[in-house]
Structure formats: C-alpha cells, structure tokens
Amino acid sequence: MSLLHLSFLAVGFLVLGLCHIDVRQPAVLYAWEGTCVQIPCSYNVLSGIKKLDHFIWYHNPQYDDENKRFDGTVLFDMSNSSKNKRIQFLGQLSKGSCSLLIHRVQVSDSGELGLRIMTPSEKWMARVQLNVTESAPQPHIQLPPRLQELQEVTVTCFLNYSCPNYPVSLLWFLDGQKVPAQVENSFIETEKVLTESKFTFIPNWTHHGKKLSCQLWHTDEQRLSEKIVWLDVKHTPKITIEASPHLEVKEGGSVTLRCLVQSSNPDVEGSFLWFKDQKKIKNWDEILTLSNVNWQQAGNYHCEANNEMGRGRSEPVHLQVLYSPRLSRVLPADISVTENKTVQLMCVTAAYPPPTNYTWYQDEKLMLGETKQNLSFQEVNRQQSGQYTCLAENSEGWGNISERARLDVQYPPTGVTVTIRSQTLIREGDSVTLSCSYEQSNPTVSRYIWRPQFSQRVRYPSNVLTIQSIPWNAEPVTCWACNIDCSQAAPVNLDVQYAPRDVKIILATPKSDIRSGDQVQLRCDFSSSRPRNVRYSWTQNGKSFHEGRYLNWSSISPEDSALYSCSVTNSIGQTKSQEWDLKVQYAPRHLRVSIVPGDVVMEKTSVVLTCEADANPAIDLYTWFDWKGQKIDNYGQKLALRPVMTHQSGAYWCQGANKLGTGKSGPATLTVYYSPETIGKRTALGLGVCLALVLLVLLGFQFVRCWRKMREEQAFQERPRGQGSFFVRKKKIRRPHTTAAPQSLGYYNPALEERIDYATLQFPDRVLSPRYLETSPVSLQTEDQSVTYSVLQKPSGGDYENVMPQAPPEDEGLHYSELIHFGERARPPAQEGVEYVTLKH
Ligand SMILES: *[C@@H]1O[C@H](CO)[C@@H](O)[C@H](O)[C@H]1NC(C)=O
Ligand SMILES: *[C@@H]1O[C@H](CO)[C@@H](O)[C@H](O)[C@H]1NC(C)=O
Ligand SMILES: *[C@@H]1O[C@H](CO)[C@@H](O)[C@H](O)[C@H]1NC(C)=O
Ligand SMILES: *[C@@H]1O[C@H](CO)[C@@H](O)[C@H](O)[C@H]1NC(C)=O
Ligand SMILES: *[C@@H]1O[C@H](CO)[C@@H](O)[C@H](O)[C@H]1NC(C)=O
Ligand SMILES: *[C@@H]1O[C@H](CO)[C@@H](O)[C@H](O)[C@H]1NC(C)=O
Ligand SMILES: *[C@@H]1O[C@H](CO)[C@@H](O)[C@H](O)[C@H]1NC(C)=O
Ligand SMILES: *[C@@H]1O[C@H](CO)[C@@H](O)[C@H](O)[C@H]1NC(C)=O
Ligand SMILES: *[C@@H]1O[C@H](CO)[C@@H](O)[C@H](O)[C@H]1NC(C)=O
C-alpha cells in the first residue's frame, strides 16, 4: 500500500515536473462555526501557455474515471454566473491570484476543497483541507524549555486562523492579571494563516507555579477560548528567620532562631549555614539556639541554604541584648587645648538600651549637674585641666567608671618680668646681665625674645641676656617668654650712668671780639650726664686754673690770652672740652724803634729804622716823627734813609695804630758821622774855627750831660718790661777813634762829645726763652765801689764780651752791666750818675 503510494507520489512529481502550472496555497485551514475562511491562493503559468481558460472550486471533488472528469459541489465556476452567496472569489487572473473567501462557515464545510485549472492544453487539480469545528479551538502557547528567575523570556501564543471579516485577538494574563503583549501579528499567506501574540517578561521566584494564560477574543466582548500554562521558574532558596520568643533578650536569657525556606525550586540540598555579623557560626541545623546570652552576642544574624540554582541567604535579623553600660571611655583620651577654646569630652560606652544618665568626675571629684553624655566647655580655663572619668546608667543598671582621659589646658606664660642680675648701679660700658622669669606657663616656655637686640645676636636666646658693653643711651629692655604664644614683660629701664657728654666752652660775654679791658665770661656746657650732679674745672694752657662753671674776668688783659679747656666731672668720670683759644685784642703797645745796621753810622750809607710793636690786631697805620716832632710822611713800619746824611742824625720815634687805639715809641737816636773824605775837607777849611768851637762845646758839656741823664732815665722807665733788650751800664771813657778802624779817624757826633755811648744788645724774642740763657757766675771784685758784672754768655759760643776796658777804670765812675730780667720782676731802679752801655748784637 505504502509502496504503491510512493510510486504514485513519484509519478505525481513526474507529472508535476512536466506540468507547466504552479499553484500555491496552505495545506490545511482551520475555522469554527460562524467565522469565515479566506483561502490564500496564487498560481504561476509557465512559458508556452498562452491562455488560462477555466477556474473551478470544488468541495470534496471526486474523480469520475468513466467521464474522465471531476464531480462534486461546485463552489465557484468562472464560466457559470449563478452564484453561491457565501462564496466570494478574490482572485485576479491578471495578477495570478486565485484566493477564495467563504463567509459564515459551518462544520459541514469541513472537507477537501479543490481548485480545477484548465488551459486549452493542460488541466490541473490543487487541493486544500478545511477543518471547521463547532467552537473555537484553544490557542497554542510556546514556552522556552526552562524558566529561570531573573532571566528574560518571550512567550508566544498563536492560532492557525486569520480572517479579516471575523477578527480575533489574543490576550495575556499572568497570575490572573492582564499583562500587555509586546508583539501582535496576523498573517494570511499561502505559507501560513496565523494570528500570534508575544509577551516578554523577567520571571522571579514569586512567578513559580503561577498561571500564565492566553485568551482568544472576538472583538472586546466575546471570549472564545483560553490556553493556560503553569510556570515553572527555577530559583535559589528563599529564606527568612523566625525568632522565638523575640529578638530582644536580657543578658543571661535565651533565644531560638529558625531558618525558614519560603520557596526553593528545585528543593534545598545539603545543610544550613548560620552567620553573625557576616561571620560564620558553627551550626548546620535549621534551628539556632542561643542560651545564657551575653552582651557580646548582640548583633546581626542571617542564614543561608543551597540548591541546584545556587545559594540563597536570608535578610539579617538584629538580636538585641539588654545590658548595663560596659567599656566606658572618655574621648578624646588625651587632649591639649588652648585656653578659652571650646572643648567637648564624650562618654562612650557599650550599652543597650542607650544610657540615660551620666555622671562625670574631674580628678575623682563628682561634677555636680553634669548628667549628659557630652561634657562641654565653651571657654575652657586652666583650672579645668585634669583627669576626667564618667559613669553611665541605663535601665539595666550602672556600669563601671571609665578609664581616665587627660585634658591639658594650655596658656601663654604669665607674670613675665625682667630682672637685672648685675649690681644696682650700671655704668656705661658695663657688662649687664638680665634675666627673664615668669610665674606660670603651660606648656613650659620654649623660647625667649629680647628687645632691643643690642649688638649681640643670639641664635637661641635664653632667659638670661648678657649685654657686653652697655651703651650710655640704652633703651628700656623687655623680654617675651613664649610657649604656644608669647607674653611680654614690662620694659625695664636700665638707668645707665655715664660721664658728662658733649662738653664745650661757650663764650657768654662778650658776644664777639674780646678786647683788652672787657668783662669776659666763659661758660662750660654739656649735653647730658647721669648722675646730673657735676663739677666743673678749667685749665689754662694745660695747667689747672679754676673750678666752677664760669670763668669771669672783670677786665681782661692781653696776658690772659691762652688756650683754655674745661672739664666736667660726675661720679662716673670726667669729660674734657676741646681747647678754646682766647684771644684778647688790644691797642699797640711796647712800641720801639730799631735801627739797622746800627745807631752810629757813617754818612752816605743806608739806614733802616723799624717800628716794632705788640698789637692785636696788627697795626694798620704807622706814623714817624723826627726829633723836632715833625711828621715824616709816606712811610710804613720801616723808615729807610738811604743814603743817610749827617744832618739826619737825631732822635726818631714812631706811632702805630690799630682799630683799638694808638701807641707811641720812645725816641731812638741815630748818629751819622763823617766819612774820612769829608773830615779831610773840613780840617783844611778851618782848624781855628774848631778851636773856638771846642771852648763852646766844653761849656755846654755839663749842661748836655745833665740833660742826657735825665732823658735816659726817663726813657728807661718808659721802656716796657719784658722787652728783649740787654743793657750794660758802665761808665766809660770814650776813647778817641784814632785807635779804632781807619774810617774812625774823625767824625762829628754831638753825642760823642758828651762821652756817652750806648750799645743795645737785641736778641730775637725766641732767644730769650730761659733755656738759652745761662748765667755765668758773677765775679765780685772787692775793689772799692768798682764792681764788674759778667752778664751773659751765649751758649752757642758767640760770647758777649763784657764791654769793660782792659785797664782798670781811670775815673771815679762805676762799671755796671746789668741784666734786665724780662719777667714780671721789678727792675731795680736806675742809679744816678751812671752810664749805660748798650751792647749791640
Ligand atoms: C450552470 O449551473 C446550473 C446550476 O448549477 C446548471 O444547471 C447549468 O447547467 C450550468 N450551465 C452550464 C453551461 O454548465
Ligand atoms: C479538525 O481539527 C481538529 C482539531 O484540530 C481535529 O481534532 C480533527 O481531527 C480535524 N478533522 C479533520 C477532518 O481533519
Ligand atoms: C499551524 O500552522 C503552522 C504553520 O503554518 C503549522 O506548522 C502547524 O502545524 C499548524 N498547526 C496545526 C495544529 O495544524
Ligand atoms: C516579581 O516580579 C513581579 C512583576 O515583575 C514584581 O511585581 C514582584 O515584586 C517581583 N517579586 C520579587 C520577589 O522580585
Ligand atoms: C582667656 O580669657 C581670659 C578672660 O577673658 C583672659 O584673662 C585670658 O588671658 C584668656 N586666655 C587666653 C589664652 O587667651
Ligand atoms: C542620674 O543619676 C543621679 C545619680 O544617681 C541621680 O541622682 C539622678 O536622679 C539620675 N537622673 C536621671 C534622670 O535618672
Ligand atoms: C556628643 O558629641 C558627639 C560628637 O560631637 C555628637 O555626635 C553626639 O551627638 C553628642 N551627643 C549628645 C547626646 O549630644
Ligand atoms: C566592673 O569591673 C569589674 C572589675 O574589673 C568587673 O568584674 C565587672 O564585671 C565590671 N562590671 C561591669 C558592669 O562591667
Ligand atoms: C661769674 O659770673 C656769673 C654770672 O655773671 C656768676 O653767676 C658767677 O658766680 C661768677 N663766677 C665767679 C667765679 O665770679
């Protein structure tokens, strides 16, 4: 039979292969009463066939071998217009479509439908099964082979039915709840006629065993059929913990914890695992029993179990143990804080329920009123330094006293003072030692700062400062002692004592020039001195002179000119001023005329008279007078006579003036004698006349002599003291000049007639200083009334010879040579009836 069938099939394929018409349509179509059926159909006419002649749709066609034709109910005939109202041909020949629509199908419509296609040369029968049931069939649900929790799945619901004239929809329900479909399709195609709906979701363990249904609805009102599946979701064990009697237990009580498996697919395998605070407990049983509970057993517990899908764990449960406070501590345990800052100490304990009442102790002493967990100091002070402990209380009782915590309140040094370690009296330049001390400090002082710094720079200043050499004007000294901060001491005045400073001489009166006879006052000044108590002293040319602040002259004299300096002395020392040159101005004085080369000269030589004087300021105007009192014009300090003539013999004097006044000299006599030539001429002129004159001269001699004596005395008294002159007094008989040099053969000199001769020995002033003067021993001759003095010997050898003649005196006169002392010593008065001899140098 099957072999026959196979051969028939092979023949059929062969026929098909030869056939030139290809028809496509589904094999089976499903419908139920009252719905419609649309048969999708298409054909393809192969090349060579020009025209398609005939279409006939049969219901249950039967081939009649005898007639060589098909018999059956004709549903549709292309060439017979008589129409069945339920049948609608949808095909279009031009498009190759041969679809057929049957309305309001009935069960009797079930069966085989055949499509007969005829061309002039070919005939073809295509068949399709139609299965019409009384009621709508269940849709089909397609599930994946295995559902796992938390893995997304898509389930499909479908039905092999679709007809536009009778629309249906497929709705999803999960555990009775309508859930939306993600995809809804319907197909009417030659390959498939289908309505489908897809639902995507993530199943979890709660979906396990739940109902998933797909319902077939016509429009919204009519539910036609339903397909139900029971979900099998694989998942790990789902566990909870059950405590009995409950999760709060007093210390010493007991509690039981049970690990409950709510759901597991597949079933739990192996033992249970218990954990406290994530740490495994050695217990493999479903039940964990804790008896005689202590406070350390308080914590979070959970349990775990395994199945094929993996490990499931319970939510943790917290086991509360009620216990009195333990392990009390004060935090922070050791704190250093600056005074006046805010500090908070906290009492930390392990206790359940939390403590309600705290007791605080400072250095073992109860602090009244402090019952809070936190002990706060808004502005902590140094008395609050100490050891702190606390005690906590809860409903279960009191704990033990906590460990000690140390609070260290720090503050800058207090009572900082500077003290002087050295002797009480400090003198300028002394080495001074100061020390910086303080009363209290926490922490201890770490460094010191000194001000002012003086010269020495100490890198790490200590509390002792030594100033090597204190300046006179040292500023007050202060120090800072520093720990966390610095505190300053009150500055200490060192009160350095020192000798007077800046000593100087002030001319108080007069304001400018000092003139002879002025009232003069010098004052000694200084800028500062400590102690103030001072003494003044003065020196004149380096010699101690006077004590007192002022130097007063009621009438100053030129002799007071000198270098003065003053010294100011206090108990520390003495300071000397600079030397001050006191210069007294005075009118010219000690005027004197000197004659060069000498006061006895030969005529026609050159003679210079010099007016010598002492004046301050210097003389600015000189005036000369001759023996007649006549003023000689146009000369300065020197009066030059060149050549000198005999008639110019005579006495000359000069006058000098500065701004302070005028001084006058004594007369100086110039003797001019004739030259030998003139004598020769004159002798020849009249010896007789001479003889007569001799008589006259002799007469006048005595008179002139007397006059001369008087004048000399007068002149001598006028001579200034201290004058650098040397006088030799001697009665001397003027020798005739015949024994002298040839040129002294003869001359005229009225003074010579008087037998008086003067010699003046003049030394430059400097020679007069005592160190050049030596007094040779005086030889006193016992000859009656005849004494000779040897007066002066120049140390350098150029002796001044006593001008006494070699022969003993021929007359009754005395020979004196006298040394005038040029000091203040009074000169013995000149004696009468003596002659003076002036030795000229
Ligand atoms: C058309 O159909 C009617 C009824 O089925 C039938 O009697 C008639 O013979 C048909 N006509 C032809 C030409 O086949
Ligand atoms: C029609 O379909 C139903 C269900 O699909 C099936 O049980 C029945 O056997 C079918 N009938 C025919 C004639 O194929
Ligand atoms: C429905 O149609 C599909 C595809 O067209 C086919 O695979 C399936 O077997 C059909 N189901 C039934 C019950 O005929
Ligand atoms: C499982 O999934 C449903 C819907 O997706 C959700 O409502 C439910 O909370 C989920 N249950 C758990 C335990 O995740
Ligand atoms: C803290 O305040 C007091 C009072 O104002 C004051 O005397 C003390 O110096 C302050 N301490 C510090 C470190 O500032
Ligand atoms: C706290 O403890 C002290 C000391 O035992 C007690 O006097 C006080 O009443 C307690 N306060 C409270 C609120 O329990
Ligand atoms: C105590 O102080 C700590 C830290 O400052 C704070 O967290 C805590 O809340 C305070 N406790 C109370 C009871 O005020
Ligand atoms: C208090 O301290 C004692 C001695 O250390 C100890 O035995 C006791 O258990 C402690 N009490 C509490 C409540 O901690
Ligand atoms: C000098 O003169 C001043 C003021 O004129 C006076 O005070 C002082 O005593 C005088 N000194 C002497 C030593 O005369």
pLDDT of residue 581 exceeding 80 = yes
The pLDDT of 256-281, averaged and rounded, is 92
Pocket test for ligand 3, best of 128, 160, 188 (most atoms within 8 A of CB): 160
Pocket test for ligand 6, best of 324, 356, 366, 371 (most atoms within 8 A of CB): 371
- Tell me the pLDDT band of 720, cut-offs 50, 70 and 90: very low
pLDDT at 78: 82
How many angstroms separate the alpha carbon of residue 441 from the centre of ligand 9? 62
**Residue 9: CB within 6 Å of ligand 3?**
no
pLDDT of residue 719 exceeding 50 = no
Kindly identify the ligand whose nearest atom is closest to the C-alpha of 187: 3
* CA distances from residue 425 to 472, 493, 595 in whole angstroms, order as listed: 13, 12, 71
**Residue 557: CB within 6 Å of ligand 4?**
no
Burial class (CB in 10 A: 0-12, 13-18, 19+), 742: exposed
pLDDT at 738: 34
Percent of the chain with pLDDT over 70: 78
Atom of ligand 7 nearest to the CA of 372: 13
pLDDT of residue 737 exceeding 60 = no
How many angstroms separate the alpha carbon of residue 384 from the centre of ligand 9? 74
pLDDT of residue 6 exceeding 50 = no
**Residue 414: CB within 6 Å of ligand 5?**
no
Q: What domains does the chain contain, in order, with CATH numbers?
A: 3-133 (2.60.40.10), 140-231 (2.60.40.10), 243-315 (2.60.40.10), 328-410 (2.60.40.10), 415-488 (2.60.40), 499-582 (2.60.40.10), 586-673 (2.60.40.10), 719-841 (no CATH)
Kindly identify the ligand whose nearest atom is closest to the C-alpha of 370: 6
CA–CA distance, 123 with 49 (Å, rounded to integer): 12
pLDDT of residue 736 exceeding 80 = no
CA–CA distance, 682 with 688 (Å, rounded to integer): 11
Q: What is the DSSP letter of 268?
A: -
CA–CA distance, 304 with 746 (Å, rounded to integer): 175
pLDDT of residue 742 exceeding 70 = no
**Residue 463: CB within 6 Å of ligand 8?**
no
The pLDDT of 437-445, averaged and rounded, is 93
- Tell me the pLDDT band of 730, cut-offs 50, 70 and 90: very low
Pocket test for ligand 6, best of 356, 357, 390, 391 (most atoms within 8 A of CB): 357
The pLDDT of 266-273, averaged and rounded, is 91
Atom of ligand 9 nearest to the CA of 549: 11
CA–CA distance, 717 with 416 (Å, rounded to integer): 86
Atom of ligand 5 nearest to the CA of 339: 13
The pair of three-digit structure tokens given for residue 742, joined into one six-digit string: 């040839």
The pLDDT of 701-723, averaged and rounded, is 59
**Residue 206: CB within 6 Å of ligand 4?**
yes
**Residue bearing the CA closest to ligand 3, atom 2:** 160
Going by C-beta distance under 8 Å and a sequence separation of 6 or more, which residues neighbour residue 357?
A: 371, 392, 393, 394
The pair of three-digit structure tokens given for residue 729, joined into one six-digit string: 């007094």
The pLDDT of 68-89, averaged and rounded, is 83
pLDDT of residue 801 exceeding 80 = no
CA–CA distance, 28 with 740 (Å, rounded to integer): 203
Torsion of CA 76, 77, 78, 80, to 10 degrees: -120
pLDDT of residue 357 exceeding 80 = yes
- Tell me the pLDDT band of 751, cut-offs 50, 70 and 90: very low
Better pLDDT: 811 or 304: 304
How many angstroms separate the alpha carbon of residue 550 from the centre of ligand 9? 6
Scan for tokens 């979900």, then name that residue.
231
CA–CA distance, 181 with 139 (Å, rounded to integer): 15
What distance lies between CA 220 and its chain's CA centroid?
89
- Tell me the pLDDT band of 635, cut-offs 50, 70 and 90: confident
The pair of three-digit structure tokens given for residue 472, joined into one six-digit string: 């006179």
**Residue 548: CB within 6 Å of ligand 9?**
yes
How many angstroms separate the alpha carbon of residue 534 from the centre of ligand 4? 114
Look at residue 755 and give its three-state secondary structure: coil
Spatial contact of 584 and 556, defined as CB atoms under 8 Å apart: yes
Sign of the dihedral defined by the CA atoms of residues 714, 716, 721, 723, in that order: positive
pLDDT of residue 317 exceeding 90 = yes
**Mean of the per-residue pLDDT values of the chain:** 81
Residue 609: φ, ψ to 5°? -100, 130
- Tell me the pLDDT band of 715, cut-offs 50, 70 and 90: low
- Tell me the pLDDT band of 797, cut-offs 50, 70 and 90: very low
Category of 264 on φ-ψ map: left (φ > 0), alpha (ψ -120 to 50) or beta: beta
Q: Which residues line ligand 1 (CB under 6 A)?
A: 80, 82
CA–CA distance, 331 with 756 (Å, rounded to integer): 134
**Residue 324: CB within 6 Å of ligand 8?**
yes
**Residue 131: CB within 6 Å of ligand 2?**
yes
What distance lies between CA 807 and its chain's CA centroid?
109
Torsion of CA 825, 826, 832, 835, to 10 degrees: 30
Spatial contact of 638 and 610, defined as CB atoms under 8 Å apart: yes
Spatial contact of 238 and 262, defined as CB atoms under 8 Å apart: yes
pLDDT at 680: 85
pLDDT at 579: 93
pLDDT at 734: 38
**Residue 341: CB within 6 Å of ligand 3?**
no
Determine the longest span between alpha carbons in the chain, in angstroms. 245
**Residue bearing the CA closest to ligand 8, atom 2:** 400
Pocket test for ligand 1, best of 79, 82, 83, 87 (most atoms within 8 A of CB): 82
How many Cα atoms occupy the beta-carbon half-sphere of 369 within 13 Å?
1
pLDDT at 677: 85
641-668 pLDDT tens trace: 888 888 888 899 999 999 989 999 998 8
Residue 695: φ, ψ to 5°? -60, -50
Strongest mean pLDDT among 230-239, 658-667, 724-733: 230-239
The pLDDT of 356-384, averaged and rounded, is 93
CA–CA distance, 642 with 486 (Å, rounded to integer): 99
* Residue 828 one-letter amino acid: P
Closest Cα partner for 729 from 810, 813, 665, 794? 813
* Residue 27 one-letter amino acid: A
CA–CA distance, 489 with 771 (Å, rounded to integer): 69
pTM over 0.95: no
CA–CA distance, 301 with 288 (Å, rounded to integer): 10
pLDDT of residue 107 exceeding 60 = yes
pLDDT of residue 460 exceeding 60 = yes
pLDDT at 19: 56
pLDDT at 839: 41
- Tell me the pLDDT band of 372, cut-offs 50, 70 and 90: very high
Choice among 23-27, 98-102, 226-230, 810-814 with the minimum mean pLDDT = 810-814
- Tell me the pLDDT band of 693, cut-offs 50, 70 and 90: confident
Give the Cβ contact number of residue 498 at 10 Å.
22
481-528 pLDDT tens trace: 999 999 999 999 988 999 999 999 999 988 888 999 999 999 999 999
pLDDT of residue 263 exceeding 50 = yes
Atom of ligand 3 nearest to the CA of 192: 5
**Residue bearing the CA closest to ligand 3, atom 11:** 160
584-622 pLDDT tens trace: 999 999 999 999 888 889 888 899 999 999 998 999 899
Q: What is the DSSP letter of 730?
A: B
Scan for tokens 């202590």, then name that residue.
294
Going by C-beta distance under 8 Å and a sequence separation of 6 or more, which residues neighbour residue 226?
A: 138, 213, 214, 215, 216
Atom of ligand 3 nearest to the CA of 30: 14
Better pLDDT: 769 or 282: 282
pLDDT at 642: 84
Burial class (CB in 10 A: 0-12, 13-18, 19+), 229: middle
pLDDT at 402: 93
Going by C-beta distance under 8 Å and a sequence separation of 6 or more, which residues neighbour residue 359?
A: 366, 370, 371, 390, 391, 392, 393
Category of 777 on φ-ψ map: left (φ > 0), alpha (ψ -120 to 50) or beta: beta
**Residue 411: CB within 6 Å of ligand 5?**
yes
How many angstroms separate the alpha carbon of residue 806 from the centre of ligand 9? 63
Beta bridge mates, 55:
117
**Residue bearing the CA closest to ligand 6, atom 10:** 357
Atom of ligand 9 nearest to the CA of 552: 1
Sign of the dihedral defined by the CA atoms of residues 266, 267, 268, 269, in that order: negative
Percent of the chain with pLDDT over 90: 52
**Residue bearing the CA closest to ligand 1, atom 5:** 82
- Tell me the pLDDT band of 711, cut-offs 50, 70 and 90: low
**Residue 204: CB within 6 Å of ligand 4?**
yes
CA–CA distance, 482 with 839 (Å, rounded to integer): 94
CA–CA distance, 180 with 201 (Å, rounded to integer): 10
Sign of the dihedral defined by the CA atoms of residues 712, 713, 714, 719, in that order: positive
- Tell me the pLDDT band of 541, cut-offs 50, 70 and 90: very high
The pLDDT of 1-21, averaged and rounded, is 44
